[in-house]
Amino acid sequence: MDVIEAWSGRYACLLQAALRLTNEAFAAQLGIGVRTVGAWHADPTVVPRAEVQQLLDHLHEGAPAAARQRFQTSIASERASHAPALPDTPAAQALRVAIAIVTRETDVLLVCRRDDETSGIRWQFPAGVIKPGTKAETTTVRETLDETGVRCAVRQALGQRLHPVTGVMCEYFLCEYLAGEATNSDTVENMDVMWVPRNALTRFIPVDTIFAPVLAALEESTND
């Protein structure tokens, strides 16, 4: 069995293809967020964190023999040809992310990411990769619940942009809090989850990286 000295997004996606798993199933097997798998497809050169490297090692070592053979064949072909494209993966599809601006009275919900080699972002709004054929609004509500334990409802679409730090297409939605305690439900990717006073938001996220319609919507909601 081939030993992977260091996993990259490319090798992780080859393992996913060998196991014949969807992004969601692959993420579930590893115990990580779907957005991380999506990031590997978007940038095959990214190097996962040390703890994720260990999770990939474990999944690789425990894979069925047929899957390991498929993976070894793919790795051999990859190393021989140095082909940039990933076989049988949706890497060519543009990555789209839904971002939830969840408000509760005078607060807004934030999550603190662990060190992320792809962007360097720390505090940010709950977000999730939009799967093909899935509505962005559905992703917004589901990912917020999965990440933070908070149930919310979309009130208003705030528009979309290419994020100035990540270069990913982001779609923003103003959401209202419905129920649930804010808890860190995704400890692999996140360090913390917290309600932050809206007027203190820029202490956590640099103002020049916040989408202008988001700032306007939060200010309008505060004045309601």
Q: What is the pLDDT of residues 136-191, one digit of tens each?
A: 999 999 999 999 999 999 999 999 998 877 778 899 999 999 999 999 988 878 88
CATH number, domain at 140? Answer: 3.90.79.10
Residue 130: inside a domain: yes
Helix (H) or strand (E) holding 37: helix 34-42
Residue where a domain stops, chosen among 81, 105, 138: 81
Residue 1 within a domain: no
Q: Does a structural domain hold residue 4? A: no
- What is residue 131's DSSP assignment? P
- Quick one: 141 and 52 in the same domain? no
Segment 65-122, tens digit of pLDDT = 888 888 888 877 776 665 444 444 444 456 789 999 999 999 999 999 876 554 556 8
pLDDT for the residue 138: 94
CATH number of the domain at 56, please: 1.10.260
> Using CA atoms, how far apart are residues 32 and 55, in angstroms rounded to an integer?
9
Which residues in 150-167 are b (16+ Cβ under 10 Å) and which e?
bebebeeebebeebeebe
Number of independent structural domains in the chain: 2
Q: Look at residue 39 and tell me whether its pLDDT is greater than 70.
A: yes
Block residue for tokens 């938001």: 201
Same domain, 125 and 209: yes
Q: What is the 3-state secondary structure (H, E, C) of 54-77?
A: HHHHHHHHCCCHHHHHHHHHHHHH
**Side-chain half-sphere CA neighbours of 218 within 13 A:** 25
Residue 215 and residue 105 in one domain: yes
43 close to 118: Cβ distance less than 8 angstroms? yes
